[in-house]
Structure 1
Amino acid sequence: MHAEQPNLTGRIALVAGATRGAGRAIAVELGALGATVYVTGRTTRTQRSEVGRATETIEETAELVTAAGGEGVAVPTDHLEVERVRALVERVDRERGRLDVLVNDIWGGEHLVEFGKKMWETELAHGLRMLELGVRSHIITSSCALPLLVRHEGGLVVEITDGTAETNKAFRENFYYDLAKNAPIRMAANLAHDLAGVGGTAVSVTPGFLRSEQMLDHFGVTEANWRDAIAQEPSFAIAESPAYVGRGIARLAADPGRGRWNGRSLSSRDLAVAYGVRDADGSQPDAWGYLSRVTAGEEGVLADDYR
C-alpha cells in the first residue's frame, strides 16, 4: 500500500520575497505540489530593488512555479508600503477568496551588513534599514494577510530567517543583523499563540549555508561547479541548494498534521528528516550541526559526515 502523495492542488500561497534564493525555491516547490502561488518582490523585468541585481525577477519566479506544475502569479510589491500590501491581499481575496499559506521571506539587506563592526561603529541608517527590511516588512505583511488566512481553518505561516532559536543564542556578529534574524523566530512563536485558537500553525524556518544566486556569485561559481568555492571557504562544503528548504516547506504545507510543529523553530534539515526530502544532489545536509562543531574549533570535522 503506497503512502498518499503530498498535494496542494486548490491551495493558495503567498510567498513574500520570492525574487531569488530560498523564497524563489519555496514558491517553486509549492507549485510542484499543485499550489497557486502569488510571488512578490521589488525586482521585475522593468525595475530593480536596492539589492541591485537584475538577473532574477518575480516574473521569472512565477514562470518557474507554473512550469513546476502550479500556477504562479507575480505581483510587484514593496512590503514596507502598507497600502501596497493591503492591495496585494485584496487581490488574492478577490481572485481566490482564500489564503492557505503565507511565507514571509522578505529581506534584501545583505549589502548593509558589516560583520565584526561594533554597534556604535555601524552606520545607524544601515542598521535601521536592516530592521525595516527584516522585521517591519514581516509585521506589515502578516497584519494585512492574516485576516484572510484565518478565514479558513488550517492556515500556515512560515517565517524565514537565518538560524534557529538554539543556534542564535550565540551573537550573530552584528547587532542589527542579530536582531533582524532573531525577530522572525519570536514572531512565529507569538503568532503560534494567536493562531492556535483558530486552527492555524506558525513556524520559523532557516536554511543552512545557502547556495543562493548571490552566494554563488560571491564565490565566482555556479550551481554546476559550486564545490570549487570550497578552496576559498572550507565550510562551503556543507552548502545546500535553495531547493532543500523549499521541498521541506512544501511538504510541511501539505501535511494535515502540521499543527504539531506550531511555534517551533526549525531548520531545513529538521524538515528534510521529518518528511524524507533530499537536496538536489540527493544528500540531506545538516549545516547547523556541522557549523556548530567547526565554530567551536573542533578539528577533523568532515562535511561529508553531515550530508
Structure 2
Amino acid sequence: MTSSLNGKIALVTGASRGLGRAVALELALAGAFVICTARSVRGQSTQAQLPDTTIDDTLDALQAAGGQGQAVRCDHSDPSQVEALMLNIREKHGRLDILVNNAWGGHDVVRNPTQPSEVWDEPLEQLRGMLLGGAYSDYVTSLLALKHLMGHAHSGIILNTTWHTDEPPAWLPYEVSKAAKNRLVYALGHHLQQRDIPVIGVAPGWMRTELMLTHHTPEELACQTETPHYAARGIVALAADPQARRFSGKVMDVSELADLYGFTDLDGSQPQWFRAHQASRRGRS
C-alpha cells in the first residue's frame, strides 16, 4: 500500500459499485480514510439483480485490502440527508480533504435499454431523473461540504466524475445532464478561485462496470474498454497532486491524466477509448 494520501479524509458518493467502488478502493490503497456513501446497503440495493453491490460490500473489500473507512447510507439528491452526513463527518473527523462526487441515479427511470426512435417519445421524467441524480446531487453535496467542512478552511479538492458531451450529440437527456455536470465543474471552479479549492471533472472512457457487463456482449466489450480502476487511479493522482489547481474548472479525460501521471489500468494498458471513439464518429459524420 502506498501512502501518498496518508491521513487524508475522503468522501466518495455512489460508492456501492462501478467507478465509485473503484475510487474508494484506490483512495484507501493510497492511505486515505474513505467514507463510502450510496443508497444501496446490504438487503436494500437499488440494483437487486447485481449481487454484492452495496456500500457494505465496498467497505468489506476496502478493509480486506488493508484500507480504512466507513459506509453511510445517503441519497445525495436529498439535502437533509447530505447535511446530516456533513455534520457527522465534521463531528468525527473535523475536516474533509477529498470529495469525489460520483453518485448517479440517472438510469432509474429508463423504461427499456433502447432509445426511442423519435426524441419526442422520450419519457419526460428521464431528464429530470438524470439532473437530480447527477448535477443536482453534485451541487448539493459540494455546497454543503463547502459550508460545513471545506470552504472556511480554504482546503481540499472536489472531483466530479462525468462524461464527455459527444459531437455529434448522442442520447438527448444524457447529453443535457452531462453538460450540466460539466458546467457545474467550470462554474464552481470559478467561484472557488480565491479559496484554493480546485474543482475538476474526470471523464472515463467506456468502463466495464457490473451494470455494463449485463447489457453488452463480449464482442462489444473487446474494443478499447477499460476497468473502473483506470479512472479511479486518475482521481487518486489528482488528489495527491499539490499542483492540481491548474486543472480547476476543467473536465479531464482519463487518458490525458494517464499521459500526465503515468498510471495504467489493472492490466498495465493505457486505453485511449474517447480519442478513438471521437475519431470514429467524425469519420462517420
Letter paired with 1:248: G
Aligned counterparts of 1:294 and 1:149: Cα–Cα separation in 2: 42
SS at match of 1:7: coil
2:170 aligns with 172
1:85 aligns with 82
SS at match of 1:99: coil
Match of 2:282 among 296, 300, 306: 296
Distance 1:184 1:52, change over 3 A: farther
Letter paired with 1:134: G
Distance 1:61 1:71, change over 3 A: same
Q: What pairs with 1:61-140 in structure 2 (closer than 5 Å)? A: 61-110=58-107, 112-113=109-110, 114-140=114-140
Whether contact under 8 Å (2:206, 2:273) holds in the other structure is: yes
1:162 aligns with 163
Task: Name whichever of 112-121 and 266-275 sits farther off.
Answer: 112-121
Whether contact under 8 Å (2:37, 2:71) holds in the other structure is: yes
Aligned counterparts of 2:246 and 2:84: Cα–Cα separation in 1: 33
Match of 1:199 among 178, 190, 196: 196
Letter paired with 1:149: M
**2:185 counterpart of 1:184:** no
Deviation string 1:117-150 (CA, Å, 9 cap, x unpaired) is 4442111123322221122222111121112122
Aligned length: 279
Letter paired with 2:153: H
Task: Name whichever of 7-16 and 287-296 sits farther off.
Answer: 287-296
SS at match of 2:256: helix
The TM-score with structure 1 as length reference comes to 0.85
Match of 2:57 among 45, 60, 75: 60
Whether contact under 8 Å (1:6, 1:254) holds in the other structure is: no
Distance 1:66 1:152, change over 3 A: farther
Whether contact under 8 Å (1:34, 1:69) holds in the other structure is: no
How big is the shift at 1:64? Answer: 2.3
Letter paired with 1:161: T
How big is the shift at 1:48? Answer: 1.7
Aligned counterparts of 1:184 and 1:291: Cα–Cα separation in 2: 21
Match of 2:36 among 36, 39, 53: 39
Deviation string 1:231-254 (CA, Å, 9 cap, x unpaired) is xx2x74100000100111101101
* Same amino acid, percent of matched pairs: 37
Aligned counterparts of 1:55 and 1:48: Cα–Cα separation in 2: 9
How big is the shift at 1:111? Answer: 5.0
Aligned counterparts of 2:145 and 2:118: Cα–Cα separation in 1: 36
Deviation string 1:158-206 (CA, Å, 9 cap, x unpaired) is 111121xxx53531222x1111111111111111112210111001111
The TM-score with structure 2 as length reference comes to 0.91
Aligned counterparts of 2:257 and 2:48: Cα–Cα separation in 1: 29
Whether contact under 8 Å (1:100, 1:152) holds in the other structure is: no
Distance 1:151 1:71, change over 3 A: farther
Unaligned runs of 5+ in 1: 221-228, 299-307
SS at match of 1:296: helix
Match of 1:279 among 256, 260, 265: 265
2:142 aligns with 142
Match of 1:23 among 20, 23, 46: 20
1:251 aligns with 237
